[in-house]
Structure 1
Amino acid sequence: MTLHADKPRLDPAALRELTRSGEGPRLLDVRTPGEFRTAHIPGSYNVPLDTLREHRAELLNHLDEDVILVCRSGARAAQAEQALAEGGLPNLRVLDGGVMAWESAGGPLTRGPARWDLERQVRLVAGSLVLVTGAAGLFVPGLHLIGTAVGAGLTVAALTNTCAMGMLLSKLPYNRGPRTDLDTVVAALRDAP
């Protein structure tokens, strides 16, 4: 639950209208650098959720106007909203539906090399674990319980809107991409008009 439940999320059409003049709100994309590099909203700053949480106080000094938080679907952006709101930043909104909704609504994206998003990677790993341990469980008693544990983990992920497997996969070099340099982000935030 976010601290600003009374503040409605921003839909892609409203964000397009705000950014049309080029003087819109600051866009913080809290996805991994790899995801950001694959596709992001032009003008957005990449501050991965873990980096945002770790350096929240430093970032708050440079976020004095409206801030729109963006991720793939809105879940990580909501977590970032809560972290920044706890630090005292009141002017936060989350892009409803994230980059997926932005793209579906025809919003422009800056594209880099294609890669699988984290949700797809989680489906591959979880499905593979269930398939392999289920089949191998026919020959090795008890091995099928690994698939049961994966199913339980996915259920908890859905109920809590967090995903431990996704967080682990985001740490892989493939997903990290170029490391986010906080000094560069802070300088860009400070120097932006």
Structure 2
Amino acid sequence: MTIAAIDPLQAKARLQELIVIDVRTPGEYTDGHVPGALNSPLDQLDRALPDIRNAAERGEVLVVCASGVRSEKACVQLAEKGVHAVALSGGTGAWAAQGHELNRPLACEVKTAWSMDRQVRLTAGSLVLLGLALGEFGPPAFRLLSAGIAGGLVFSAATNTCGMAAMLGKLPCNRPRKADLDATLARLRSL
């Protein structure tokens, strides 16, 4: 299935007419998002589907993530449910690289959360150090943990996917609070 995509310059020119759905985790969303974007994490998309479908009847839906990978997955998921959406090519990374502003809530408005890439770096680095330390002071086979993490990082880069990020995304700190997702759904209904 071919996913329609628009580049950040096209999206910027049409921002007022687009319904922008950001499918990143709440922590990533608060780090900076396309102005007017509503946060509905990818793993909560089914819950938001009725409201996204209704909003899509009133305007074109633009799906955004960090790099474009999750937004393409979301577009496929929406298309399978009969909702047309387009992805932002390159995600918020490309948006910011072209000099477009990102909205960031005031620090007092949100709980502090680490971005997903920071969480992945911490987890991967900790597991590599753990594998090396255990291999040094215990059976050398523990070094295989470090080798496995290194292999996973190479695979992640080669395929532009990240299994560790998918697993970390399920942690409570990366899940939207019910009230946050309910607020997003209410805003979708009012569009």
**Fold match (TM-score > 0.5):** yes
Normalising by structure 2, we get a TM-score of: 0.83
Does the 8 Å contact 1:137/1:144 carry over to 2? Answer: yes
Q: Counterparts of 1:108 and 1:11 in 2: how far apart (Å)?
A: 15
Q: For residue 134 of structure 1, what is the amino acid of its counterpart?
A: L
Q: Counterparts of 2:47 and 2:151 in 1: how far apart (Å)?
A: 29
Distance 1:181 1:115, change over 3 A: closer
Q: 2:10 aligns with which of 14, 33, 40?
A: 14
Deviation at 1:76, TM superposition (A): 1.0
Distance 1:103 1:184, change over 3 A: same
Q: 1:99 aligns with which of 79, 86, 92?
A: 92
Worse-matched range after superposition: 104-113 or 54-63:
54-63
1:77 paired residue number:
71
Distance 1:54 1:163, change over 3 A: farther
Q: For residue 24 of structure 2, what is the amino acid of its counterpart?
A: R
- Give CA deviations for 1:139-166 in whole Å, capped at 9, x if unaligned: 2121111122223433443455432211
1:125 paired residue number:
123
2:32 paired residue number:
39
Kindly indicate which of the two structures has a greater share of residues assigned to helix. 2
Percent of counterpart pairs with the same letter?
A: 40
Does the 8 Å contact 1:28/1:44 carry over to 2? Answer: yes
Structure 1 residue ranges without an equivalent (≥5): none
Deviation at 1:57, TM superposition (A): 4.4
Q: For residue 164 of structure 1, what is the amino acid of its counterpart?
A: G
Q: For residue 79 of structure 1, what is the amino acid of its counterpart?
A: K
Partner-residue secondary structure (3-state), 2:63:
strand
| 2:66 paired with 1:66 | no
Distance 1:55 1:28, change over 3 A: closer
1:166 paired residue number:
165
Partner-residue secondary structure (3-state), 2:186:
helix
Q: For residue 54 of structure 2, what is the amino acid of its counterpart?
A: N
Does the 8 Å contact 2:51/2:188 carry over to 1? Answer: no
Does the 8 Å contact 1:40/1:111 carry over to 2? Answer: yes
CA RMSD, 1 decimal = 2.3
